[in-house]
Chains A and B, each alone.
Chain A
Amino acid sequence: MKKFSLLFVLMMTVVFILGACSDDESVDSENENGDEDVVTLSLWNRYSELRGGFAQLIKDFEAEHPGIRIETQDTPEAETQLRTALSEGNLPDMWTNIVDLSELMEVDAVKNLDEIFTEDVKAQFQDGTWYENGTTADGSVYGFPLAAPQSKAMIMYYNKDVFDMLGLTEDDIPASWEEFKALGQTIVDESNGSVYPIVWNNPGWANEQLVSMMGTAITPEVPWQENYKEGVPQVYTEGKIESAEFIKELLDEGLMSPESVEIGLGEAEALFAVGQSAFLWSGDWVGRQLVVETEFENWGVAPLPTKDGNPYYYHAGSEATSIRVSNDTEHWEEVKTFLEYALEHLHETVYVNTGAGLPAKEDVGGEPPFEQYNDILELESQLAIPVPKPAELNPDIVEFNRAYRNKLEVGGIGDAVVGYITGNIDDIDSEIEQIDHDMKDAFMETLDEFPEVSQDDYIYPNWEPFEPYTVEKYDELR
C-alpha cells in the first residue's frame, strides 16, 4: 500500500511537471465556443491609433470568412512582449513591427511574403515603401506595409475654439519663432494666463524629433543623425541646438504649459482639446486621436514654426510601419487569406476611414471621418522627404549599424534635450557636442571592425536636402 502511495505521488509529480511544460495546442483547433472548424489567428498591435480600424477590419473579415477568427492584443510594452514571446518560441501569428528585421531574420522568425507581394502588387504602394531592413531583406518582402513612408513628420495643430475666443484668424498662425513668441504673448495676455500658447510632452524620442525637424530649417544637411555630405554621424548642429534653446525659452517665458515637461503625448492632446493651449506639436496620427479619443473636432493644421519661417523636413520612411508574420505560424493559409483581404481593404478601413494616418497603398478609397484629413495628407507629403538609406547600396550596413549603435551609451539627443528643458543640463551645446563626439568615435571604431563597409557608403554626392532621394538616384551611384 505504501509502495503504491509512493508510486502514485511520483507519477503525479511527473504528470504535473510535464503538464506545465506542454503547449496548449487545443486552442487553435477548437475555440472557446466549441466551434471545431474555426481557426483562431493572433495579432499583436502596438499602435493605439490603429485599434479602432483593426477592430472594424477584423469584424468585416470574420463576417466574410466565418472559419477564421482573429484575436487582437494590444501591446503597450511591445518590444518586451515580443522578445519574450520570441525567446519562448511562442510568437503570435502576426504582429505590428517591433524588433529590427535583421534580428528577426537571423533566427528565421519572420515569414517571407513574396507570395503575396508580387511585383504588380508592390507597384501599388507609395514610393519609398520598400526598403532594406524595413519592409524587405535581400529584395524579398517581410512586412505588410501599413503607413506611408511620407508620414510621421511633426506638424502644428491649432485650436479653433481658442482662436475664436481670442479673435484670432488663420492669418495669425505663426511661421517663425519670433512670430510664435509674439502671438504667444498675446494669447497669454488676452486670456489672462488661462490659455498657454503651446503644450508639449516629455518623451526623449519626441524631443529629438522636434529639434531635428525644426533644426533642418537651419542646417538642412543633417536630416536626422547622419550627414550624407561628409559620411559621418552628426547630431551636433546649429539647428538642433537653437531649436532646443527655443523650446526652453518658451517654457521659461511662460509661453509653454509647465506640465509639458512631465506629460506624455496623450495628456498633451487632452490639454489641447480642452482649450488649455492654442497649439499642439505632434504627428499625423493625432487628428484621429483628437476626434475619436477626445471628441474635439474644431482644429486645424499648419507647419511647425521655424527660426526664420524657412521650410523644414523629416526623413521619410523613418519607421517601417507594417505587419510581420511568424515563420512558425501553423495557419499560413489562413494568415494569407487575411493578408490578401487586408491588401484590398486594410488601408481604406484602418487609415482613411478612421483618419489614423496616411496609408502606404496608393489610390485608396474611403471616407475620412474629419475634413482636416486631407490637409494633414498634403502637409505630410511636403514635409516627409525620402533621404538616402545607405543599406540600399550596401546590405552589410545593416549589421554594421547594429554593431555601431551597440557602442553608444545613448541612442540620440532626446534625453539631453529633456534634461536641458527641465533645467538639469545647463550647457546643451557641450552636452550634444559630447554625444556627437561619442557617436563619431563609435562609428570610426566600427568601420575598423567591418572592412566591407567604408565611410564612402555614407557619402551621397547626388543628394540635396529637400529633394526626394529616389530609386533613380540610387541607380546613379550603383
Chain B
Amino acid sequence: MANNLELSQKSTSKDTSNLKTLQKRKAIWAYIFLAPQIIVFFIFSAYPIVMSYVYSFYEWSGIGPLNDFIGLANYQQLLTSERFWNSALVSIYYILGTTVLGVGGALILAIILNDQKLKSKGFYRAIYFLPVVTTTAIVGIIIGSIFGINGFFNQLLVDFNIIDKPIPWLTDPVLAVIILIVIGSWKGLGINMVYWLAGLQSIPNELYESAQLDGAGFWATLRHVTLPLLKPIAAVIILLSLVSGINAFDLVKTLTNGGPNFATETMDLFIYNYAFSSQLGGGQVRMGYASAAGVLLGLFTFVISMVFGAASFGKQIIKLKGNKKKKGGVKAL
C-alpha cells in the first residue's frame, strides 16, 4: 500500500516535471517565433521614436554629429509658430471631418448592404471597398484633375448652368479642406463599412425576429436593437478613424501640397517639409525642429486616443468592475 502511494507520488512528481519542461520548451519556441518581430519593432519603431525625442533637443539638419544642444528651444519656437498651429488646426478639421463623414457614411452603407433582401451585395461591397486598395497618391493626382479650375467637375457645373464661372476648389483654403475631407472619407469608407458589417453580422437574428414580432418597424429596430448593440464596435471604429485621420500626408501632398500659402498644410506635411524638403523652397532642413513637431504630433495622437478611450470605454470598464463586485458579493453571501 505504502509502495503504491510512493509510486503514485513519484509518478505525479514526474508528470509535474514533464509538464514544466513542456511549458518551458513552449515558452522558448514562443520567444523564438516572436524574436524577429521584436527585433524589427525595436529597430524600426522603438529606436526612431526614442531618437526623435533626442533630436528634438538639438539644432540638427539630419547630417553630421549632434553637437548643438538647444534644450527646449525647438518646442518654444513651435509653440509660438503660427504655421505650426495652423497645421494643427487643419489636422483637427481633417480628423473630425473624416471621422464624422467616413464613419457615419460607412454605417449607413453597411446597414443597406446588410439587408438580407438586397441582391448583388458582394458586388456593391467590392465596389465600395475598391478605394481602400487604391494608392492614395494616385487618388490625389486624379482628384486634382477632376476638381481643377478647368477640371471635369467645374465643366459639369458650368454645362448644367449651375455656376457661371469655375470654382477654385483646390486654391480656396476652405473648399480645399472640404475636398480633402470628402476624399479622405471616401477613401476610408470601404474599410469602415467592413468593420460595421462585422458588427452588424454579430447581432443575433433572433433579436430582430422578436423585435418584428413585437411590431417594431425599421427605425424602431435600428434605434432600440441595432445601434445599442453596435456601441462597443462603434467605439473601436471611431478610434481607428481618428487615429488614421492623423496620417493624411500622401493625400494632402498630392492634392494641394499644403497650399495655398500653407492653408491646407497638415501636421504630418509640416513635419515632412521641415525634415526633408526645405532647401528647394528657400528654407533650411531642420530635422531637430521637425522631430519636435513629430513628438508633439505623437502626444496629440496619444491624448486623442486617451480622451476618446476614456469617454467610450470608461463606462464599460466601470460597469465591468461593478459586475465583478456584485459577483464577489453573491459568492460571499
Residues of A near any B CB (own CB < 8 A): 2, 6, 9-10, 13, 16-17, 77-80, 83, 86-87, 98-100, 103-104, 106-107, 109, 202, 204-205, 208, 258-259, 261-262, 402, 405-406, 408-412, 414-416, 418-419, 422-425
Chain A residue contacts of B281, Cβ below 8 A: 204-205, 411-412, 414
Q: Tell yes or no: B320 within 8 A of A by CB.
A: no
Choose one: B261, B276, B289; the contact of A415 (CB below 8 Å).
B261
Chain B residue contacts of A202, Cβ below 8 A: 171, 259-260
Choose one: B148, B262, B276, B280; the contact of A262 (CB below 8 Å).
B148
Choose one: A77, A104, A415; the contact of B259 (CB below 8 Å).
A415
* B149 lies within 8 A of A259 (CB): yes
Choose one: A100, A107, A419; the contact of B261 (CB below 8 Å).
A419
From B59-67, B124-132, B189-197, give the one contacting chain A.
Answer: B59-67
* B283 lies within 8 A of A418 (CB): no
* B276 lies within 8 A of A83 (CB): yes
* A411 lies within 8 A of B82 (CB): no
* B279 lies within 8 A of A98 (CB): yes
0/1 string, B256-289, CB within 8 A of A gives 1: 0001111100000000000011111111111001
* B150 lies within 8 A of A258 (CB): yes
* B280 lies within 8 A of A205 (CB): yes
Closest to B283 in A: A411
Bound-state Cα–Cα, A99 to B61, Å? 10
* A9 lies within 8 A of B32 (CB): yes
Q: Tell yes or no: B168 within 8 A of A by CB.
A: yes
CB distance from B229 to the nearest CB of A (A): 45
* B261 lies within 8 A of A418 (CB): yes
Q: Tell yes or no: B166 within 8 A of A by CB.
A: yes
Q: Tell yes or no: B35 within 8 A of A by CB.
A: yes
CB distance from B260 to the nearest CB of A (A): 4
9 tightest A-B CB contacts, nearest first: A419-B261, A411-B282, A411-B283, A412-B282, A80-B276, A422-B171, A422-B260, A107-B64, A405-B284
CB distance from B152 to the nearest CB of A (A): 14
* A83 lies within 8 A of B285 (CB): yes
Chain A residue contacts of B150, Cβ below 8 A: 258-259
Listed A/B pairs (12) with beta-carbon separation below 8 Å: A77-B276, A77-B277, A98-B279, A202-B260, A205-B282, A258-B150, A409-B81, A409-B82, A411-B283, A419-B260, A422-B171, A424-B173
The A interface, classified by DSSP as helix, strand, loop or mixed, is helix
CB distance from A401 to the nearest CB of B (A): 9
Bound-state Cα–Cα, A409 to B62, Å? 18
* A406 lies within 8 A of B284 (CB): yes
Bound-state Cα–Cα, A412 to B278, Å? 11
Given known A10-B32, A204-B281, A261-B149, contact A406–B262 (CB-CB < 8 A): no
Q: Tell yes or no: B143 within 8 A of A by CB.
A: no
* B263 lies within 8 A of A419 (CB): yes
Bound-state Cα–Cα, A123 to B81, Å? 48
Bound-state Cα–Cα, A259 to B170, Å? 11
The B interface, classified by DSSP as helix, strand, loop or mixed, is loop
Closest to A259 in B: B149
Bound-state Cα–Cα, A409 to B274, Å? 10
Chain A residue contacts of B122, Cβ below 8 A: none
Q: Tell yes or no: B307 within 8 A of A by CB.
A: no
Chain A residue contacts of B82, Cβ below 8 A: 409
Bound-state Cα–Cα, A2 to B22, Å? 12
Chain A residue contacts of B59, Cβ below 8 A: 406
Closest to B150 in A: A259
Residues of B near any A CB (own CB < 8 A): 25, 28, 32, 35-36, 39, 59, 61-64, 81-83, 144, 148-150, 166, 168, 170-173, 259-263, 276-286, 289
* B284 lies within 8 A of A402 (CB): yes
* A99 lies within 8 A of B63 (CB): yes
Bound-state Cα–Cα, A6 to B32, Å? 9
* B282 lies within 8 A of A99 (CB): no
* B172 lies within 8 A of A424 (CB): yes
Residue among A16, A77, A262, A410 facing the most chain B CB atoms (10 A cut-off): A262
Chain A residue contacts of B285, Cβ below 8 A: 79, 83, 99
Closest to B83 in A: A409
Closest to B171 in A: A422
Closest to B84 in A: A409
CB distance from A244 to the nearest CB of B (A): 12
* A79 lies within 8 A of B260 (CB): no
Closest to A420 in B: B261
Closest to A5 in B: B29
CB distance from B273 to the nearest CB of A (A): 10
Q: Known contacts A402-B61, A423-B171, A424-B172; can you find 15 more A-B pairs with CB under 8 A?
A: A9-B32, A16-B36, A77-B277, A79-B279, A79-B285, A106-B63, A205-B281, A259-B149, A259-B150, A405-B283, A409-B82, A410-B83, A424-B171, A424-B260, A425-B261
Chain A residue contacts of B63, Cβ below 8 A: 83, 86-87, 99, 103-104, 106-107, 109
CB distance from B58 to the nearest CB of A (A): 12
Bound-state Cα–Cα, A180 to B21, Å? 90
Given known A103-B63, A418-B261, contact A13–B32 (CB-CB < 8 A): yes
* B149 lies within 8 A of A100 (CB): no
* A100 lies within 8 A of B279 (CB): yes
* B280 lies within 8 A of A415 (CB): no
CB distance from B43 to the nearest CB of A (A): 10
Given known A107-B63, A423-B172, A424-B263, contact A79–B286 (CB-CB < 8 A): no
Bound-state Cα–Cα, A405 to B61, Å? 12
Chain B residue contacts of A258, Cβ below 8 A: 149-150, 166, 168
Choose one: A104, A205, A259, A414; the contact of B148 (CB below 8 Å).
A259
Closest to B166 in A: A258
Chain A residue contacts of B261, Cβ below 8 A: 415-416, 418-419, 422, 424-425
* A261 lies within 8 A of B168 (CB): yes
Chain A residue contacts of B25, Cβ below 8 A: 2
CB distance from A64 to the nearest CB of B (A): 35
Chain A residue contacts of B83, Cβ below 8 A: 409-410
* A422 lies within 8 A of B149 (CB): no
Given known A13-B35, A103-B63, A262-B149, contact A415–B284 (CB-CB < 8 A): no
Closest to B282 in A: A411
Closest to A403 in B: B59
CB distance from A297 to the nearest CB of B (A): 26
CB distance from A163 to the nearest CB of B (A): 24
* A261 lies within 8 A of B280 (CB): no
Bound-state Cα–Cα, A415 to B259, Å? 8
Closest to A413 in B: B282
Residue among A80, A106, A258 facing the most chain B CB atoms (10 A cut-off): A258
Chain A residue contacts of B278, Cβ below 8 A: 79, 411
Chain A residue contacts of B282, Cβ below 8 A: 204-205, 208, 410-412, 414
Bound-state Cα–Cα, A424 to B171, Å? 8
CB distance from B42 to the nearest CB of A (A): 12
CB distance from A271 to the nearest CB of B (A): 10
CB distance from A142 to the nearest CB of B (A): 15
Bound-state Cα–Cα, A243 to B187, Å? 41
Bound-state Cα–Cα, A86 to B276, Å? 12
Chain A residue contacts of B262, Cβ below 8 A: 415
